[in-house]
Structure 1
Amino acid sequence: MTTHDSRPGSTGGADTPGPLHGGPDDDYTPEQLATISREDLDRLGARYDGVEILHVEPGPEPGSALEKRAVRQVGLMFGLAGLCAFGFVVVYAGAGWFLPDWQWELGSSSFSVLYTPLLGLLMGLAFTLVGVGLVLYTKKLLPHETAVQDKHDGSHFDRVTTGATLVGGLHNSGLARRKLITGTLAFMGGGLGLMLVAPLGGLIKDPNEGDPLGTTEWAEGVRLVRDDGTPVRPGDQEPGSLETVFPAVPEGNRLTDAATMLIRLRPSQQEAAVPRNGQEDFGYGDYVAYSKICTHAGCPVSLYEQETSRILCPCHQSQFDVTQGAKPIFGPATRSLPQLPITVDDEGFFVARGDYIEAVGPTYWNRERI
């Protein structure tokens, strides 16, 4: 049997052809392993693991024109990926920083049209460029070898030699001397990290600041106007009729949460009317105003049957009685339609006395603000 020197400082025969004898933990103590160089540990572990190198193709020569060109290509990909990632952050969060009054609007021809496509484009480009950069780095800068390996049981020896192999892989990658790539990697990593974290900003900032779900554009003194912007006076409607009105503000007829039904009750309806507690003075004469948004699923309610005093939601057939404070009397809706307090201004036009005192729309948004 051939024996090998296992004294501290030796390679234990790792550089000698032929099979190794015994088990690794029987041949080497932790103290002996600690004295062996990383390169020798790498080779020693490979031999014990039954690794057979079939083919080795070294990477480009350090400092060669081929290496410099490959480094520039990889650095360019990583740098562009970082720029796209930071661009995502600027578009996502920068709209609030540089355009404090900007908000996304459905159907707008302004920045709103480009907002979501830009986010998707920049994120997609960032990850694509990361992938291209990694592929170029692997194909053009790393040495390539083909090897087969037998599975080996874990031991202290295996952990030490595997660590040496991993460190050797980092050394062979050349990252330590390729400053352009390490710099662009850091830049790209910072951009990608911010890009992935930026959407969480919506969880940090309270989305309910200012109670956006519980308020509309209605406010004290805001006129009730028709879809064409004309104001409404008492007497413009026939008894028993309904008209949809909006707040007299810019784009008022496009504010779906502020759409309101102005109803003129018939004398018999007015006599039978039972307003909700605390809302006895919300109407004006024989006029009442209720939200047009169904409290079940948010559909627009607009079918009014004056003979029965019922307002019907066409989506799921919820029905509300205007003589009982728009209380639901049929269908899945369980909450009354919010009532808008109204009066008239000095010129005799209908105005709101304030906003709705409860959130409009589906019941799950309901939050009392009294």
Structure 2
Amino acid sequence: MSGNEPGPRPSDEELAAMGRDDLVKLGGQLDGVEIVDYPDPWPVKGTKAEKRAERAVALWFLVAALAGLAFVVALIWWPWRYEPRTDESAHFWYSLYTPVLGITLGVSVLAIAFGALLYAKKFIPNEVAIQQRSDNMGEGSAEVDRKTIVAHLADAGDRATIGRRSMIKRTAGLGVGALGLGVVALPVASFIKDPHDNADNKDGLVHTGWQKQHPGEIVYLRRHTGDANEVSLVRPEEIDAGGMETVFPFRESERGDHEALLHAVRRSDNPVMLIRLRPGDAAEVVKRKGQEDFNYGDFYAFTKICSHVGCPTSLYEQQTNRILCPCHQSQFDALQYAKPVFGPATRALAQLPITVHTDGYLIARHDFIEPIGPGYWERKS
């Protein structure tokens, strides 16, 4: 390739006496490297073009720093507690929490990358070299090789002029530092902040639309007929043995309120499967500890929200008493407190405690005693 043959290696005394330029030259000779071209990106120092390029690189690093600091500020002080849609203003700002975190962190990472790329393009020499490669017969690097490679790296740093560009170094350090602060703050905040820690928040993940809004309130089981304004309550005798019906919560205070009635059937965590087991099957039921009185006779009510990823468990097999989720084929045994028996789901479907009111209609005794649907970080069950 180059025709250069490695010369004799210097002694330790000669090696210690060599300067960096001598080591760079020696390293090239030992590695069989011929530098064909090593142009200086800025042969005339201090030009306006060079200053503009330096400011452009520094600007990207400054943007990275500002975005990183904005990420930390948003992580700590942006409204992060869950706010229901009933308060439009508060919910709007809460809904921006995750997008703001993603945008600020993404801008910080991208700005550092753009700054590094621009610096490499504008200030690092485009060296053209030819090298004859060798694996040194499988032996490790000798002391002379280690010293010469360090010299080469230091020389490359000097030729890239990073040492005399304090603006770029300061902004790069600021950008990386701000990003690093955000990277550290994010997992720490995850252990401290819980958007759903307010147990009284009826719209949080801990509760559903079946929660009583005030003491003594009656929450009926209502079937959806397709007409949001029609209120069709459920009596036990209306469901045959082995039958299933999807029901939603209803309060007398909502009667005639179109928006409230429509919201009740559209809220994602409200649908419940009301199942009436056949008498022979009901005798074989295994009840979950602490939920022995959640059923009413042969009637059992389970959430339709699958505990795997939240799909609707819309299918019920009367012969096998299996509740099926069509998304990923999880199956739950209705005779064993809706325990998963097949598929990826690992948690039983939450059971709604039900009974019959004095007027003969089925009602919910209270809300689910555990969060429904898939698991999440703050969930205890």
- What is the TM-score with the length of structure 2 in the denominator? 0.62
Matching residue within 32, 46, 63 for 1:80: 63
Matching residue within 88, 98, 103 for 2:78: 98
1:259 alignment partner in structure 2: 271
Distance 1:157 1:272, change over 3 A: closer
Partners of 1:71 and 1:181 within 8 A in 2: yes
2:27 alignment partner in structure 1: 45
The answer as to 2:293 corresponding to 1:292 is: no
1:70 alignment partner in structure 2: 53
Partners of 2:79 and 2:93 within 8 A in 1: no
Deviation at 1:166, TM superposition (A): 1.6
One-letter code aligned to 1:44: L
Which deviates more from structure 2 when the two are superposed, residues 126-135 or residues 311-320? 311-320
Matching residue within 39, 64, 74 for 1:57: 39
One-letter code aligned to 2:50: E
Deviation at 1:144, TM superposition (A): 4.1
Partners of 1:41 and 1:164 within 8 A in 2: yes
Distance 2:163 2:84 in 1: 46
Distance 1:243 1:262 in 2: 6
1:5 alignment partner in structure 2: none
Partners of 1:85 and 1:188 within 8 A in 2: yes
One-letter code aligned to 2:132: D
Superimposed CA distance per residue, residues 252-305 of structure 1 (whole angstroms, 9 cap, x where no aligned partner):
545534432346x69x95996676556554345886533334578865345679
Which deviates more from structure 2 when the two are superposed, residues 273-282 or residues 53-62? 273-282
Partners of 1:74 and 1:181 within 8 A in 2: yes
Deviation at 1:32, TM superposition (A): 3.6
1:23 alignment partner in structure 2: 8
Partners of 1:325 and 1:336 within 8 A in 2: no
Which deviates more from structure 2 when the two are superposed, residues 333-342 or residues 56-65? 333-342
Distance 2:306 2:32 in 1: 73
Superimposed CA distance per residue, residues 59-114 of structure 1 (whole angstroms, 9 cap, x where no aligned partner):
324433232122111111222234344455556x35xx421323799xx9946876
The answer as to 2:322 corresponding to 1:339 is: no
1:6 alignment partner in structure 2: none
Matching residue within 135, 155, 165 for 1:178: 165
Distance 2:265 2:127 in 1: 69
Partners of 1:56 and 1:145 within 8 A in 2: yes
- What is the TM-score with the length of structure 1 in the denominator? 0.63
Distance 2:94 2:48 in 1: 47
The answer as to 2:129 corresponding to 1:142 is: no
Distance 1:71 1:296 in 2: 53
Superimposed CA distance per residue, residues 28-53 of structure 1 (whole angstroms, 9 cap, x where no aligned partner):
22x44223322333233334444333
Distance 1:284 1:23, change over 3 A: same
Which deviates more from structure 2 when the two are superposed, residues 164-173 or residues 252-261? 252-261
Distance 2:127 2:307 in 1: 67
**How high is the sequence identity, in percent, across the aligned residues?**
33
1:8 alignment partner in structure 2: none
For residue 57 of structure 1, give the secondary structure of its aligned residue in structure 2.
coil
Partners of 1:302 and 1:311 within 8 A in 2: no
Distance 2:127 2:175 in 1: 29
Distance 1:211 1:150, change over 3 A: farther
For residue 147 of structure 1, give the secondary structure of its aligned residue in structure 2.
strand
Structure 2 unmatched ranges of 5 or more = 255-259
Superimposed CA distance per residue, residues 121-154 of structure 1 (whole angstroms, 9 cap, x where no aligned partner):
5565545444443343233323444333334654
1:162-241 alignment runs, 5 A limit = 162-194=149-181, 200=187, 204=191, 215-217=206-208, 218-219=210-211, 223-224=219-220, 226=222, 228=228, 235=235, 238-240=238-240
Partners of 1:319 and 1:328 within 8 A in 2: yes
Distance 1:71 1:285, change over 3 A: same
1:246 alignment partner in structure 2: 249
Distance 1:185 1:314, change over 3 A: closer
Distance 1:328 1:143 in 2: 66
Deviation at 1:160, TM superposition (A): 1.9
Distance 1:354 1:234 in 2: 17
One-letter code aligned to 1:282: F
Structure 1 unmatched ranges of 5 or more = 1-18
Query: Rg larger in 1 or in 2?
Result: 1
Distance 1:21 1:303 in 2: 78
For residue 340 of structure 1, give the secondary structure of its aligned residue in structure 2.
coil
Deviation at 1:244, TM superposition (A): 0.6
Distance 1:46 1:254 in 2: 73
Partners of 2:112 and 2:172 within 8 A in 1: no
Partners of 1:319 and 1:330 within 8 A in 2: yes
